[in-house]
Amino acid sequence: MTDSKGSGAGSRATAGSKRQRLMTATAQVVHRQGVERTTIADIARAADVPVGNVYYYFKTKDELVAAALTEHARQLSTLTDRLDALPDPRDRLKGLVAAWVGQRDVAARYGCPTGTLAVELDKRAEGGLDVEAGKVIRLLLDWVERQFGALGLPDPAGLALTLVGAYQGMSLLSNALRDPGVMTSQGDRLLAWLDSLDAASAVSHPG
Amino acid sequence: MTDSKGSGAGSRATAGSKRQRLMTATAQVVHRQGVERTTIADIARAADVPVGNVYYYFKTKDELVAAALTEHARQLSTLTDRLDALPDPRDRLKGLVAAWVGQRDVAARYGCPTGTLAVELDKRAEGGLDVEAGKVIRLLLDWVERQFGALGLPDPAGLALTLVGAYQGMSLLSNALRDPGVMTSQGDRLLAWLDSLDAASAVSHPG
DNA sequence: GTCTATAAGGGGATAGAC
DNA sequence: GTCTATCCCCTTATAGAC
C-alpha cells in the first residue's frame, strides 16, 4: 500500500518518509502527553506535516496510536537484537537492566513508554488497542523468559514476570516521585539479584 | 466549609452525604475509565446526583480528581491501621501482600487504583495533581519503610521501593495481560522473599 | 440548596480545491 | 498527493429559575 519505497516513480520517497515521521512523532508525543491529551495537530506539528494531511496516511487517531505501539515494538527488537550478540544470557539480562537505568531521566519524567501507554489504553473500551499493548509487553516477557531458560533456572516465565514487573514498578515510582535515583538504586538491586541467581538453588522471589 | 456534619441545623446531613457519594463515585469511575474519559455526567450518574448539582460541591473537575486521591489515601490508611494491630512487622508486610493478591481480579481488569491514576495525572501538565498522586504513594512507601526498619533490616527505604515497586509492576502486567494469575504467582514470590529476609545477611535485591 | 438550560470552546474527521 | 475550510459532536462550566 502506502509503503516507504519502490512504488511509483513520480511520488518519490516523501510519502513513506512522512508516514515514518508521523509514526515516530506519535510515539514521542504520546509518551509525553498521553493519548487523550495529544491532538492530531500536536502530532502533525511534531512531525512537520500539515494538519489536514495526516488523514491521508492514517484514517483515525486509533491508527496513529497503533502505529506508536508498532514503533515501540521495533525499538524493543533493536535492543534485544543487540543484546543477543552477547554470549552469556546472564550478561544479556544485565545489559537489559543497564539499558533501563540508562533511560532513567526519561523514566523519571514520563515513565516507561510502553507501560504508561498500556495503562492508558486499558481505559479505552473500544478498538481493542489495549490487547495490542499487551502483545508488545509479551514480546519483552518472552525474550526475558528465553534468557532465564537458557540459564537453566526453574520457572523462567515467573522470573521474567518478576524482572519485567520490577522494571515497570520502578519506572512508575520513579515517575510518580520524579526521582531518577529510584531507577539507579533499584537497578543496582536487580543486577545483584541476577548475579545471585543459581541454577542449583531455587531463590523464590523478586529479589 | 461544605463539610459533612455540624454546620447548619436546617441543611441536614444530605449535603455531606452527597459530597461523600461524589468522592467515592469519582474514585471508582476514574479507576475504571481513566480521568480523561470520565465526564462529570458519568460521575453524577454513578453518585446518583443530578448533573448540574455537581458544581455546587466541586467547582472544577480537577477538584473531583483531587477528592479521588484523598479517597484513595483514606482507604490506604484504613488498611494500614488494620495491619498495625499485628504485633510482628513481617506479618504486617505479609498481610499487605495478601491484601494486594485479594484484589487480583480488580487489578487484572483496571490495575492499581493509585498507580494508574498517578500515571495518568503525570501527563496532565497543569494543576499540580501529579505531585499529589506522588504524595499518596509516599504514604504507602513510608509505612512499608517503617516496617522494614522495625525488622532491623539495612536500607529500609530501598526495600520499601522494591516491595511497592513489585506491587505496581505486577499490577501493571496483570492488567496489560488481563491475567489475575500474575498477581497470585508474583504474590507468592513476594511472601517467600519476605520470609527469607534476615537482619543478619543483607540480601540485596527485589526478591 | 437543588436542578435545567445553555453558553463557550475544543477536537476528530470530512469535503473538496489545488 | 497535498492542503484548507469547515462540520458536528462532546464536554466543561455557568446563569439563573425553582
**Domains along the sequence of chain B with CATH:** 1-59 (1.10.10.60), 62-196 (1.10.357.10)
| Integer Cα distance of A195 and B28 in angstroms | 42
What's residue A87's pLDDT?
A: 98
Nearest nt (C1') from B41 Cα: D11
Segments in chain A forming alpha helices (H): 14-33, 40-47, 54-57, 61-84, 89-102, 104-110, 113-122, 129-150, 156-176, 181-196
Higher pLDDT, A124 or B194: B194
Contact assessment for residue A179 and residue B122, using Cβ atoms and an 8 Å cutoff: no
What's residue A126's pLDDT?
A: 81
Q: What is the mean pLDDT of chain B?
A: 90
| Integer Cα distance of A52 and B49 in angstroms | 41
State the smallest CA–CA distance between residue A26 and chain B in angstroms: 15
When mean pLDDT is compared across A107-121, B27-41, B67-81, B117-131, the lowest value belongs to B117-131
Query: What integer is the mean pLDDT of B71-98?
Result: 98
| pLDDT over threshold 90, residue B189 | yes
Cell of B199: 537482619
Cβ-based contacts with strand C at under 7 Å: A 38-41, 52, 55, 59-62; B 2, 7-8, 11, 14-15, 18, 49-53, 55-56
What's residue A52's pLDDT?
A: 84
From the list A33, A138, A168, which residue is nearest B168 (CB)? A168
What's residue A5's pLDDT?
A: 35
B126 DSSP assignment: G
Give the CA B125 to C1' C9 distance in Å. 19
| Integer Cα distance of A53 and A21 in angstroms | 13
When mean pLDDT is compared across A29-33, B69-73, B179-183, B199-203, the lowest value belongs to B199-203
A40: nearest Cα among A69, A72, A18, A62: A62
Instruction: Give the DSSP H/E element, type plus range, for residue B23.
Output: helix B14-33
When mean pLDDT is compared across A114-123, A157-166, B167-176, B198-207, the lowest value belongs to B198-207
Chain B's closest residue to A108, CA to CA, is B122
Higher pLDDT, B126 or A87: A87
pLDDT by 10-residue block (mean), chain A, 207 residues: 35 64 96 96 93 92 96 97 98 98 98 98 90 97 98 97 99 98 98 92 54
CB contact (8 A) between residue B166 and residue A169 = yes
Higher pLDDT, B52 or B57: B57
| pLDDT over threshold 90, residue B202 | no
| pLDDT over threshold 80, residue B10 | no
When mean pLDDT is compared across A148-162, B12-26, B115-129, the lowest value belongs to B12-26
Cell of B109: 481488569
Contact assessment for residue A34 and residue B120, using Cβ atoms and an 8 Å cutoff: yes
What's residue B8's pLDDT?
A: 32
**Position B196 confidence tier, pLDDT thresholds 50, 70, 90:** very high
